[in-house]
Structure 1
């Protein structure tokens, strides 16, 4: 970087050198952190396609196996906001190395588990220690890089955040087919070793502040853990347990409602809070937090609905689902470099609004889905959604963080990542409930006119009875087949309702984006103390 020019009229003398950045150290260290972030996000989805094989391998029940996912996500939401405090206390490098090492060790322990109880324990520890790898990368992108390079770093992070959920189920299905389900966890060893080397060797971005060890807010940590873990559990398990009809869900909802406001009060009043909430005084951060919440719901919601539809309605295999889903990932990858250039050239508010509108258009078209839709019908939907999500994500990251003072960036990055995770959990909870409820509603509508006096039903029954003439009870077999056809149609209509819900949420986010302020960072913003 060039030295600063002397002020006009000043006495000639040695020029003040501008802060120097060792780009080799910065890029290699950041690359190691990005690989770790990809590994942590991928591990949420890579297990999804292989739960039946894991269930058989450890002898778990259908209810127990769902905890493989839940046990990972619940502790993770505590570490994500806590990582900002730990980074300021120990330094980013030490926090990331400890997180990566713990994540790899817990991955191996999970893969070696011989019972569902062992697996749930190690999976919970894996999610907790690995949670620090996700937000620390965002903080480095906005503190270690100079302002003119932060958009590029945001594009890289956006690609990782969107790619991992897209390829996760496909990669998991193939690994299980080729090797065994245990390799879903063992595979983390190889990239983990690379991350430990790169981060340990090159990621010396900052130094910790040992003074933060005095007056650590244990009460704040306890309140935050109770609030976030209760809320995450309710969102993850509520739809399965009929929401507030279940005593456990009701109790944890009460815990979250009580602990949440007390935690916020504690964070705003304590001299050394676990989470710095003062970033919410910045209106752009407020809007960006809400936008990221919607991005999480749109990203994880679409990634949840489409494979579920292809598996339930079209009976696609894991490989066929992966082939169909790849369109979304390709669209995001193709959009990333252009999104970076557009953010530099345009007001991020326009890109946020436009990105969410594209996402809404794609999802609204999908609400017309029929049980004949396959790769080509979903290709356009996924392409439009992928472009929209990428534009909205990159613009949201830039707008949320670029107007914050540097000392708030680490804590704010944890809050932004928390918004995306909770948004995803909220989106899945709403979609799960919508699928269950609307399938029952549509089933009632379809069957309401089917009475013994209905000529259409009589003709269908006659045809089905003839078709199953060789069975023990042809009439019962025919009725079962008709019920299956109607249920498939009701489910398809419910999936269409789910896609419409995502579209409505994205349209609301497009309107909210207009309430942000211009977010161009001042040209003189220092690049921080990166070495």
Structure 2
């Protein structure tokens, strides 16, 4: 394979405005750098669209006349399709080349976004969102693979924070961007906003990206059984994780059926991956100790990234009664913290052992969630300010060393495939985290309701005094004051039980992140990697 410097060397792009010192410091040509930046923007769009609809589902539901059971599929369809494409992208990048894969994904993603904006029924929206997620999933791993194959190891302290910031900032600011667009314009702009950037990214990739050559011979030995089993495995798993908490898991026949399909698909997929001569996804990267541990930490980071992005809006909506824009404004703190921490994390990675930096990041996560275990029904922006700052800083302090430790020491020929697996673990971590979060919230809510109902029972002086005060306050305004007071007391009890379940969840997450911080000691200290040239 030709090196990137041979394919897109200085002669292929005017470098008169770039000093030799700058070219030497960057380690790549201006054309390569511009192409990489275009790819980063494409990845940002694909990841942003995971969460951009989360704060606007009620508006989409009203616009499409969808039921409460149907509307979650606007997000679920995207996630299921994306997790299937992400590991497949490694094969496609080798077979088609990075340029063709990314260009096709950028064009397809832009077209699918336009289709989503034109949807008039929930069925159309689900199909278009699945198409958008599947195509967009091809852009995400490609950026990671190019970053670690194109740039020399000495520049990873600059490149890794950039892709880490994009990968974590996009889903974090998703609710903020979505809430603003929906409140200012309409929900259609959640998708229309992708059109112009998508066209620009497509044009830029076409003219600037030329990092490797395709190997079309791979299609002659394409593993269709592996692809089918992977689709069944990951698609069914994502469905079970997304819908399980809503329908009481395997008590529901549909969930149980997809659970069986998950097991069957997993068995066939891993059998093909381990025995086929040319498997659709190669698992040999997991032989690398740091990649295996790094993928596990990426899974945990997915819980912190997607899980906490979900928890805070749920609390603010259910307990505080915030609308989409108010939630977005509150959540914006995390995005600012991440943006400011990215260059600091890059600098620290030059001086600190990556394992130490990773430990500090997970310890920051644990500290933030521990502070939130004291949550009450009165918490709003300022009470959540410090925990959100800790979360934003910790995301960047974790992402940079996880990227470097996991992908930085792999051979170049494994990077495309390993990048897909690495990004898949983060998304699966988010899916498992959301399922765990919803299950814990539901179970602890039932438990606390039962305990509070015992406390707020007839004959308890405190309960009777509170009920009497409520009756006096509403009897003057409402004819049926006693019934209204009983409803108010019931709502108050449920609200407090809800808050207590959030506190329990934050304690569980504290234990999880603290455990991850300790496990960072299990990773091996990476040895110095010989400098790569161009695409190698």
TM-score normalised to structure 2 length: 0.93
Residue in 2 that maps onto 1:506: 513
* Cα contact 1:464–1:481 (8 A) shared by 2: yes
Superposed, which structure 2 residues align to 1:12-411 within 5 Å?
22-411=28-417
Shift, 1:21, TM fit: 6.0
When structure 1 is superposed on structure 2, of 69-78 and 320-329 the one drifting more is: 320-329
Q: Do structure 1's residue 527 and structure 2's residue 529 form an aligned pair?
A: no
* Cα contact 1:89–1:213 (8 A) shared by 2: yes
CA-to-aligned-CA distance 1:462-491 (integer Å, 9 cap, x gap): 222222224242211111000111111111
Q: Distance in 2 between matches of 1:213 and 1:37?
A: 26
CA-to-aligned-CA distance 1:412-443 (integer Å, 9 cap, x gap): 00001000000001111000111111111111
* Cα contact 2:28–2:534 (8 A) shared by 1: no
Residue in 2 that maps onto 1:13: none
* Cα contact 1:172–1:184 (8 A) shared by 2: yes
Shift, 1:324, TM fit: 1.7
* Cα contact 2:99–2:205 (8 A) shared by 1: yes
Q: Distance in 2 between matches of 1:358 and 1:462?
A: 45
Residue in 1 that maps onto 2:21: none
Q: Distance in 1 between matches of 2:27 and 2:112?
A: 35
* Cα contact 1:402–1:520 (8 A) shared by 2: no
* Cα contact 1:147–1:527 (8 A) shared by 2: no
* Cα contact 2:56–2:324 (8 A) shared by 1: no
* Cα contact 2:362–2:513 (8 A) shared by 1: yes
Q: Distance in 1 between matches of 2:430 and 2:440?
A: 15
Structure 1: segments with no counterpart, 5+ residues: 1-17
Aligned residues: 511
When structure 1 is superposed on structure 2, of 420-429 and 256-265 the one drifting more is: 256-265
Residue in 2 that maps onto 1:481: 488
Shift, 1:73, TM fit: 0.6
CA-to-aligned-CA distance 1:191-234 (integer Å, 9 cap, x gap): 10110121111111111111211110000000111100011111
Q: Do structure 1's residue 426 and structure 2's residue 426 form an aligned pair?
A: no
Shift, 1:61, TM fit: 0.7
Shift, 1:22, TM fit: 4.8
Q: Distance in 1 between matches of 2:183 and 2:337?
A: 27
Residue in 2 that maps onto 1:15: none
Query: Aligned-residue CA RMSD in angstroms?
Result: 1.4
Residue in 2 that maps onto 1:446: 452
Q: Distance in 1 between matches of 2:353 and 2:421?
A: 23
Residue in 2 that maps onto 1:495: 502
Q: Distance in 2 between matches of 1:372 and 1:21?
A: 52
Shift, 1:320, TM fit: 2.1
Q: Distance in 1 between matches of 2:28 and 2:346?
A: 23
Q: Distance in 2 between matches of 1:528 and 1:238?
A: 46
Q: Distance in 2 between matches of 1:21 and 1:510?
A: 33
* Cα contact 1:106–1:122 (8 A) shared by 2: yes
Residue in 1 that maps onto 2:14: none
Q: Distance in 1 between matches of 2:263 and 2:226?
A: 15
TM-score normalised to structure 1 length: 0.94
Structure 2: segments with no counterpart, 5+ residues: 1-23
Q: Distance in 2 between matches of 1:65 and 1:198?
A: 35
SS at match of 2:374: coil
Shift, 1:457, TM fit: 2.0
Q: Distance in 2 between matches of 1:101 and 1:407?
A: 27
Shift, 1:528, TM fit: 4.4
